[in-house]
Structure 1
Amino acid sequence: MEPDTLPLDPDMLRQVIQFLLAEGSSFWRELTRKWTLYQLGIALAVYACAWMLAWGLGPRYNDWLRTRDGWAKWRLRIGLLVQRRMRMILFVLLIWVVYLVMKEVTWGSRSVLLRIIANLAAAWLFIAFATRVFLSPAMAFVVRYGAWTWATLSILGLHDKTRVLLDSLAITLGDTRLSLWLLLKAVVVMATLMALARLAAGASAASIQRNRDISPSMQVLAVKVLQVMLFGAAFFLGLKAAGVDLTGLAVLSGAIGVGLGFGLQKVVSNLVSGIIILLDKSIKPGDVISLGDTFGWIESLGARYVSVVTRDGKEYLIPNEDLITGQVVNWSHSNDFVRLDIHFGCSYHDDPHAVRSIAIEAAKSVDRVLTTKPPVCHIVGFGDSSVDYILRFWITDPTGGLTNIRGNVFLALWDAFRENDISIPFPQREVRLLGDAPVPAAKGDGGPQRG
């Protein structure tokens, strides 16, 4: 569909040029007046004073800020921002003092420019502080310069004229009219709402995570739902500000949803599986799990996958569907107690009662082995060359590793057995080499008889 109104209409461009020339001519006449130049000189002198004050106070403020070790992070961030903007802060304070004095001692027309400069500086300083809440540099850039432009036009009294000018640059598609004013407004409003949504989501997530009455899995679910609601509301409000018809968008989103249902079945399955995992609390961040050959602890729960970090530092991104349909061993599902078994054998010449006592004491000497649930040792069989034992002990920190604790217990057994002369047998075999010489037959071996 071709647009009904082209943005490059010659008449429209002529009006824009005439508007800019008229405003530029008026601005130049005001700028070349005698008292306007005086006020510009005063503003430059005030800025020089602010620069010298910031140069002198900056190092002292920095030394004082370094001693604020007990401050919260947000207070330290504000302190650093004040340090970076100290020159502008001092300029705003001084220019307002100078303007108020000039307003009282001379005619009002001789301080108009100082009032405009003071308002602009205060607005720019406020916007610089306010846009620090944006985490995305691109979003902060859009909102900062958009707000600065809006504040400048409002203070200079050009807001309404600029709005009419930008609104005249438009195209019409069917029943929808899109102007440059609406697009700019939508970008700035959506960026601002997205930043506020991210700030609110971060603050709410921190509050939810500090609540010990909510399980870790439900904390993750609550944070995800809150983020979806806040960002969704920011998105639709931004579209509404741009004049987009949300009724048509609802029909389009329904069609897209049907297409996604067929084309992205795996993705949707993982999303639904993630919600089920969060609701049934089968796994949660910090749990130690085994899935196939993967053994590690859960670092985070995502919308599509679960991050599992192993002992060797590898991070596996396991789809949520695999955790629902596969067999998962959760070593810390209901509690943190984990029992480990060690098999070993000792000689038949050693007293089995002494072996069991020595093995139990050796296991107790290892740091991570629990003494509240003491180790036990049992005979499990009589082998070809040894008496077979099983040593069982408990730990409460499977995230610290299983192989290393088994190795420490084996090492403690080795030291204890050597101190108490307990031998660990190993199979021995006798090998006989058959040469060319005949082997003499033993008596009664059934050999040939002389007649």
Structure 2
Amino acid sequence: MEPQSNPVTPQLDVPMDLSQVLMPVWMDVVAFFQGLITPGWRQNQLLIIVGLFALAYLLRIVTEPMVENWARSREGWPKWRLRTLVQIRRRLVLIYFAIGAWFVFLTMQQLTWPSRSYMIGLVATLVTVWLFIAFAARVVRNRSLRRLLIWGLWIYATLHYLAVTDEVFTFLDSIAVEFGNFRLSVLTLITALVIVGALFTAARILSNLIAGSIRRNEDISPSMQVLGIKAVQAALYAIAFFAAIEAVGFDLTGLAVLSGAIGVGIGFGLQKVVSNLVSGVIILLDKSIKPGDVISLGETFGWINSLGARYVSVVTRDGREYLIPNEDLITGQVVNWSHSNEFVRLDIYFGTSYGCDPHEVRKIAIKAAEDVPRVLISPNKPVCHIVGFGDSSVDYILRFWISDPTSGLTNVRGNVYLSLWDAFQANNISIPFPQREVRLLGDDDKAVAKALD
């Protein structure tokens, strides 16, 4: 008995005789080139096409400097228009050729037989479609993906207008890998990539439109805006992925086992990642932290720049950007300086000599704080109180409020200290400082000191 083959062993399914697929295409190519080398209207059309390309190249040499200078003078234009001008300048040859080819084609259609201008019309159509694809693909931001999309659509459009798509598709579908009842061909793989790319691009464009609409809605808090945008993005990308898989024809029932394996892996190896993801959702839901808030976490002081799925971006006054995991914000002690409102109270301690009137000192200190631009006068005015009698000074505390903590705390404290200094100097208020006396002993003093010893 012959051993049965294992059904799960991958097998490459390639047609035994490739000539059956490629021969029709090869015969068409041979006939086409034979017509080009034979004197007649095919050869004449080829010469016209070559002449149009040469004319388009000369026009590009003449007009490119003028187009570039004109584009540089458009300073107030938005970036997308300037990028479009750059793409037009790079493709001037094809644009001039398409215009000239269509003009010659339409003229010859009126003056002679349509078959005598067929090649010119075909090339004009291809060039026009290539230009349209190149400009339309600009919606894809990723450069590598954009290039892959452009070249793929160029190849498909060329095969379509040359009427050889059926032969090429048959050849690509004949190259396949089989796993039991599962069959994956090159054509299916290419189709899947195209559909996934198109759906993901559509999902990105739609999510950007929805995100812009959510950000413009002032009735939604910043934290809920971030949560809504992320939820919309996740939903759209998930829909795009599963729709692409279904469109290609893959069976999704096998993903049930895969999802179970992924769940086990998450449970053991991705605990921190999942914890940060869940913590990020909790932060967005309870609105404890939102973009623009000023927070302190340990020695880190700054304002929330953005809320991510895994971390929160905190920018400090010195330009450093800290990426703090969401879990730390949930489990740690966080000081949110602007949780309920933007008002922040700051305290300054100072002392004056006992010879100064404390009533005057308090009035002068309050007036000095009010003279600093960032210090609020309403609704909370600065106040000054005596907090104790020191060894060499009367101790005070000066309290004042600000509403812009993102502009810094140290600088406003420094400005208040400087204003206090100027006010004390102008009103003869002395600030005590430690003093030491050094005495030189005379002969009598030395004798007394020796006797005491």
TM-score (norm 2): 0.90
Q: Which moved more, 1:261-270 or 1:147-156?
A: 261-270
SS in 1 for 2:265: helix
Q: Which moved more, 1:367-376 or 1:287-296?
A: 367-376
- 1:161-196 Cα offsets, whole Å, 9 max, x none, are 111111111121122110110111111221222222
Partner of 2:29: 24
Equivalent AA in structure 2 for residue 207 of structure 1:
S
SS in 2 for 1:6: strand
Residues 204, 54 of structure 1: alpha-carbon distance in 2 compared, 3 angstrom cutoff = farther
Q: Which moved more, 1:100-109 or 1:269-278?
A: 100-109
1:37 maps to which of 33, 36, 43: 43
- 1:342-372 Cα offsets, whole Å, 9 max, x none, are 0000001001111111111211222221233
Identity %: 58
Residues 26, 383 of structure 1: alpha-carbon distance in 2 compared, 3 angstrom cutoff = same
Displacement, 1:32? 2.7
Partner of 1:383: 390
Displacement, 1:400? 1.2
Partner of 2:287: 281
Asked if 1 retains the 8 angstrom alpha-carbon contact of 2:94 and 2:131, the reply is yes
Asked if 2 retains the 8 angstrom alpha-carbon contact of 1:269 and 1:321, the reply is yes
Asked if 2 retains the 8 angstrom alpha-carbon contact of 1:142 and 1:188, the reply is no
Equivalent AA in structure 1 for residue 179 of structure 2:
L
1:91 maps to which of 92, 97, 101: 97
Partner of 1:209: 215
Structure 2 Cα separation of the partners of residues 109 and 17 of structure 1 = 27
Partner of 2:163: 157
Asked if 2 retains the 8 angstrom alpha-carbon contact of 1:182 and 1:241, the reply is no
Displacement, 1:393? 1.0
Partner of 1:334: 340
The number of residues matched between the two structures is: 441
Equivalent AA in structure 2 for residue 115 of structure 1:
G
Partner of 1:445: none
Displacement, 1:102? 1.1
1:399 to 2:430 alignment? no
Displacement, 1:46? 1.9
Displacement, 1:402? 0.8
1:265 to 2:271 alignment? yes
Q: How does 1:205-354 map to 2 (within 5 A)?
A: 205-354=211-360
Asked if 2 retains the 8 angstrom alpha-carbon contact of 1:135 and 1:195, the reply is no
Structure 2 Cα separation of the partners of residues 376 and 138 of structure 1 = 62
Structure 1 Cα separation of the partners of residues 191 and 149 of structure 2 = 10
Displacement, 1:2? 5.1
Unpaired segments of 5 or more residues in structure 1? 443-451
Structure 2 Cα separation of the partners of residues 171 and 278 of structure 1 = 47
SS in 1 for 2:12: coil
2:141 maps to which of 129, 135, 143: 135
Structure 2 Cα separation of the partners of residues 12 and 255 of structure 1 = 42
Residues 389, 430 of structure 1: alpha-carbon distance in 2 compared, 3 angstrom cutoff = same
Displacement, 1:295? 0.6
- 1:188-214 Cα offsets, whole Å, 9 max, x none, are 221222222222222332332222222
1:173 to 2:173 alignment? no
Residues 326, 420 of structure 1: alpha-carbon distance in 2 compared, 3 angstrom cutoff = same
Structure 2 Cα separation of the partners of residues 95 and 337 of structure 1 = 69
Residues 382, 441 of structure 1: alpha-carbon distance in 2 compared, 3 angstrom cutoff = farther
Structure 2 Cα separation of the partners of residues 117 and 172 of structure 1 = 40
Asked if 2 retains the 8 angstrom alpha-carbon contact of 1:366 and 1:409, the reply is yes
SS in 2 for 1:58: helix
Asked if 1 retains the 8 angstrom alpha-carbon contact of 2:8 and 2:180, the reply is no
1:363 to 2:369 alignment? yes
Q: Which moved more, 1:254-263 or 1:60-69?
A: 60-69
Equivalent AA in structure 1 for residue 183 of structure 2:
R
Q: Which moved more, 1:143-152 or 1:73-82?
A: 73-82
- 1:221-241 Cα offsets, whole Å, 9 max, x none, are 121112112222222233234
- 1:388-418 Cα offsets, whole Å, 9 max, x none, are 1111111111111111111111111112212
Unpaired segments of 5 or more residues in structure 2? 1-6
1:58 maps to which of 49, 60, 64: 64
Residues 53, 21 of structure 1: alpha-carbon distance in 2 compared, 3 angstrom cutoff = closer
Partner of 1:447: none
Displacement, 1:35? 1.6
Asked if 2 retains the 8 angstrom alpha-carbon contact of 1:103 and 1:111, the reply is yes
Structure 2 Cα separation of the partners of residues 217 and 415 of structure 1 = 44
- 1:94-113 Cα offsets, whole Å, 9 max, x none, are 21121111122111221111
Asked if 2 retains the 8 angstrom alpha-carbon contact of 1:300 and 1:308, the reply is yes
- 1:238-264 Cα offsets, whole Å, 9 max, x none, are 323433211212432233123213321
Q: Which moved more, 1:251-260 or 1:333-342?
A: 251-260
Partner of 1:189: 195
Asked if 2 retains the 8 angstrom alpha-carbon contact of 1:374 and 1:394, the reply is yes
Equivalent AA in structure 1 for residue 431 of structure 2:
I
Displacement, 1:330? 0.7
Displacement, 1:80? 3.2
Equivalent AA in structure 1 for residue 429 of structure 2:
I
Residues 423, 156 of structure 1: alpha-carbon distance in 2 compared, 3 angstrom cutoff = same
* CA root-mean-square deviation: 2.4
Asked if 2 retains the 8 angstrom alpha-carbon contact of 1:142 and 1:191, the reply is no
Asked if 2 retains the 8 angstrom alpha-carbon contact of 1:270 and 1:304, the reply is yes
Displacement, 1:141? 1.6
Equivalent AA in structure 2 for residue 24 of structure 1:
V
Residues 45, 389 of structure 1: alpha-carbon distance in 2 compared, 3 angstrom cutoff = same
Residues 12, 222 of structure 1: alpha-carbon distance in 2 compared, 3 angstrom cutoff = farther
1:413 to 2:420 alignment? yes
Structure 1 Cα separation of the partners of residues 236 and 96 of structure 2 = 38
Asked if 2 retains the 8 angstrom alpha-carbon contact of 1:54 and 1:87, the reply is yes
- 1:297-353 Cα offsets, whole Å, 9 max, x none, are 111111000011112222111110111111111111111111100000000100111
Structure 2 Cα separation of the partners of residues 214 and 421 of structure 1 = 54
Partner of 1:448: none
1:81 to 2:65 alignment? no
